[in-house]
């Protein structure tokens, strides 16, 4: 049996192993297309609809992969994670399916629906203040006190490999993508996708999308090293990070073509477009990638893949977002 | 070439002819399922997702079928319809594809998105006051003045036959439905579906769903004749009729098992459930049928088909509906 250390650095091979491991345990989510979207974006656009994934986001891929690779002792002690929401729900479900106890450290202002869903999967939720506390420290302390295995939302080889299975699927569904637009928070999703693309679709340009106020990866790529910015305030709560991960940045600096930015207003407009025209609910972080396509920020024309990372937004929040 | 009078009364045969005629011209919309929905409804539920249909509702089926059957003289003069919205958009698009001029009579308070979409398909829009004017009279006057062919939203054999193609498709996608829940306004959709079901799936109970305040068909079935009620005020604007059609009622009195009612609060909750859990936007009229499934008003258990008739609701209206 492989140990955790075998895949300290995720590779194309570890992504393909994850794809094998997850077969039948995650949805093969559909790829949505729309003539209205193509017209607005001036390109053939393919939305990989992870908003229709189990738990409402791609995060179940990384969580299931990581939990599947725990050894018996680790599984008996339980797992812990910090997350603004989707990773929490995903880890809670992945752990429950494996009979493993899960503890999740969440910001006090996380969407109520995400918190309720996390609890409904049987996880213990511990809250913190996003602007004063450091979630990494709280998580580390609890892990040490209780002997829990930390499954972080992106800074973990098995999580990155799991997220990469999304791109493996997509390249099997749509051929010859010129561009793949991927929302970037900590960078785990795009790192996994980039590893898959480098072998399966090497001519596809992998372009990250960040909120304008949360451009830590863009700045870090320009600087050639990880930069830290003030905690960003953006409606795209799922990708509001202040610095890239170490592991993810090492991959992303090698494999990304560029990172483009979108404003909160563009994100809102993309959510609205997707809702009104495609009748599909996507969350702000996912809408960031759609917004980049609508603004043609990955270049004009061609065949554009868009990772619609999730759809977890409760209707009260949705109403607020749509009338702001 | 068949004349309009051949199918003055729609039949199973005319529905099947419509299905042939519409092949490749409408989407074969997907059937959505959800474990969460099954659990909430206590049944296996199959949503026929006509919110993903061209123009955002099933109405394109009837409109295309009717426009396809115009003779050259009729096509040269043009068509006219009254509609609270979806039929208008559908007729506008169907007419444009056939190179026929379309005029649409719409209530002044119709959703802005529906009115804009109708105009964007090249139709001329004439507005009226829903509470003081009689749309039938306005339409008849314009038709007489300008020599236009009236294509009503439901009281028309070709329209009913076109709507029935939805059920033909559904019975090809899902077997052995115990119940089919269908929203009822004027009764054209359910009449067409009932005609299809009577031959293709005779053991399926066809159950209409009306808003509690707009129960004109339920009352008419009980009375054995068409009853007129005050113009209903309900959030389900697409099925807010005050009396059933003559043609539709003759079919529905024979073929429906029953009509059940749902409240506006239940409709709102069903919209929210579908949006939050299935990430899919449906309009209030469609949500009425989902609400009936959630309330188990068609009986408990079994295999329940639900006609999700459309998804045309702009986000501003959606926000209002969700916070009321």
Residue of A nearest to B282 (CA): A279
> What is the end-to-end Cα distance of chain A in Å, rounded?
52
CA distance B321 to chain A (A): 9
Environment class of B163 (CB within 10 Å of its CB; exposed 0-12, middle 13-18, buried 19+): buried
Return the DSSP state at B4: G
- A214 noted as active-site residue: yes
Q: Which tokens in the block code for residue A293?
A: 């396509």
Please check whether residue A315 touches B, CB under 8 A: yes
A208 closest CA partner among A230, A228, A226, A193: A193
CA A222 to chain centre: 22
The reported pLDDT for the residue numbered A84 is 66
The reported pLDDT for the residue numbered A85 is 82
> For testing the chain A interface, which of B36, B315, B318, B321 should be mutated: the one with the most A CBs within 10 Å?
B315
A280 contact residues in B (CB cutoff 8 A): 279-281
- A59 noted as active-site residue: yes
Range with the poorest average pLDDT among A8-17, A130-139, A237-246, B254-263: A130-139
**Of A51, A316, A323, which has the smallest distance from its Cβ to B279's Cβ?**
A51
Residue of A nearest to B278 (CA): A52
A316 contact residues in B (CB cutoff 8 A): 322-323
Mean pLDDT of A273-280: 96
B34 closest CA partner among B267, B275, B265, B263: B275
CB contact under 8 A, A311 and B281: no
Whether residue A227 is predicted with pLDDT greater than 50 in this model: the reply is yes
B276 contact residues in A (CB cutoff 8 A): 113, 281, 314-315
Provide φ and ψ at A239, rounded to 5°: -125, 25
Contact between A21 and A165 under an 8 Å Cβ cutoff? The reply is no
pLDDT band at A301 (very low <50, low <70, confident <90, very high): confident
Please check whether residue A66 touches B, CB under 8 A: no
ipTM of the complex: 0.87
CB contact under 8 A, A276 and B316: no
Mean pLDDT of A233-243: 94
Provide φ and ψ at B194, rounded to 5°: -65, -40
Contact between A71 and A48 under an 8 Å Cβ cutoff? The reply is no
The reported pLDDT for the residue numbered A171 is 98
The reported pLDDT for the residue numbered B228 is 97
Please check whether residue A284 touches B, CB under 8 A: no
Helix, strand, coil distribution of chain B in percent, nearest 5? 50, 15, 35
Q: A214, A238, A310, A311: which one is catalytic?
A: A214
pLDDT band at A21 (very low <50, low <70, confident <90, very high): very high
CA distance A314 to chain B (A): 6
The reported pLDDT for the residue numbered A2 is 39
Return the DSSP state at A174: S
CB contact under 8 A, A322 and B311: no
CA distance A305 to chain B (A): 20
- B59 noted as active-site residue: yes
State how far the Cα of A284 lies from the Cα of A292, in Å rounded to an integer.
12
The reported pLDDT for the residue numbered A80 is 96
A197 closest CA partner among A174, A223, A164: A164
pLDDT band at A322 (very low <50, low <70, confident <90, very high): confident
- B210 noted as active-site residue: yes
The reported pLDDT for the residue numbered B324 is 63
Q: How far is CA B320 from CA A129, B179, B268, B315, B316, in A?
A: 31, 32, 11, 9, 6
Q: Which pTM value belongs to this model?
A: 0.90
CB contact under 8 A, A279 and B113: no
Residue of B nearest to A314 (CA): B276
A279 contact residues in B (CB cutoff 8 A): 51-52, 56, 280-282, 311
CB contact under 8 A, B281 and A282: no
The reported pLDDT for the residue numbered A312 is 92
Q: Which of the residues in chain B have pLDDT under 70?
A: 1-7, 84, 324
- A210 noted as active-site residue: yes
**Of A113, A281, A319, which has the smallest distance from its Cβ to B279's Cβ?**
A281
The reported pLDDT for the residue numbered A4 is 45
DSSP reduced 3-state for A244: coil
Average pLDDT across chain A, whole number: 94
Residue of A nearest to B32 (CA): A52
Contact between A51 and A282 under an 8 Å Cβ cutoff? The reply is yes
State how far the Cα of B43 lies from the Cα of A82, in Å rounded to an integer.
36
pLDDT digits (tens, 9 = 90+) for A184-218: 999 999 999 999 999 999 999 999 999 999 999 99
pLDDT digits (tens, 9 = 90+) for B297-321: 988 889 999 999 999 998 888 988 8
CA B273 to chain centre: 21
> For testing the chain B interface, which of A279, A282, A283, A320 should be mutated: the one with the most B CBs within 10 Å?
A279
CB contact under 8 A, B113 and A280: no
**Of A113, A276, A316, which has the smallest distance from its Cβ to B113's Cβ?**
A276
Mean pLDDT of A125-130: 90
């Amino acid at each position: 049996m492989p140990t955790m250390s075998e895949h300290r650095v995720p590779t194309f091979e570890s992504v393909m192993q994850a794809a094998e491991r997850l077969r039948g345990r995650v949805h093969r989510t559909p790829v949505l297309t729309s003539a209205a979207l193509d017209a607005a974006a001036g390109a053939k656009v393919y939305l990989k609809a992870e908003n229709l994934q189990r738990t409402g986001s791609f995060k179940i891929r990384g969580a299931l992969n990581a939990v599947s690779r725990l050894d018996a002792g680790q599984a008996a002690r339980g797992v812990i994670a910090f997350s603004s929401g989707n990773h929490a729900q995903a880890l809670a479900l992945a752990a429950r399916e494996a009979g493993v106890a899960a503890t999740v450290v969440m910001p006090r202002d996380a969407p109520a629906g995400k918190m309720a869903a996390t609890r409904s999967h049987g996880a213990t939720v511990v809250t913190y203040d996003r602007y004063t506390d450091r979630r990494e420290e709280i998580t580390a302390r609890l892990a040490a006190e209780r002997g829990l295995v930390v499954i972080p939302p992106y800074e973990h080889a098995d999580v990155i490999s799991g997220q990469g299975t999304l791109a493996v699927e997509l390249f099997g569904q749509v051929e010859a993508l010129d561009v793949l637009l991927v929302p970037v928070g900590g960078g785990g999703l795009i790192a996994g996708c980039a590893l898959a693309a480098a072998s399966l679709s090497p001519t596809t340009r992998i372009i990250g999308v960040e909120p304008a106020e949360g451009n830590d990866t863009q700045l870090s790529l320009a600087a050639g090293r990880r930069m830290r910015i003030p905690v960003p305030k953006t409606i795209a709560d799922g990708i509001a990070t202040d610095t890239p991960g170490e592991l993810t940045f090492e991959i992303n600096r090698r494999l990304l073509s560029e990172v483009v930015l979108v404003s909160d207003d563009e994100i809102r407009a993309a959510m609205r477009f997707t809702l009104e025209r495609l009748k599909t609910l996507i969350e702000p972080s996912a809408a960031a990638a759609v917004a980049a396509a609508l603004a043609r920020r990955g270049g004009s024309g061609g065949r554009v893949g868009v990772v619609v990372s999730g759809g977890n937004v409760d209707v009260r929040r949705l109403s607020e977002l749509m009338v702001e």
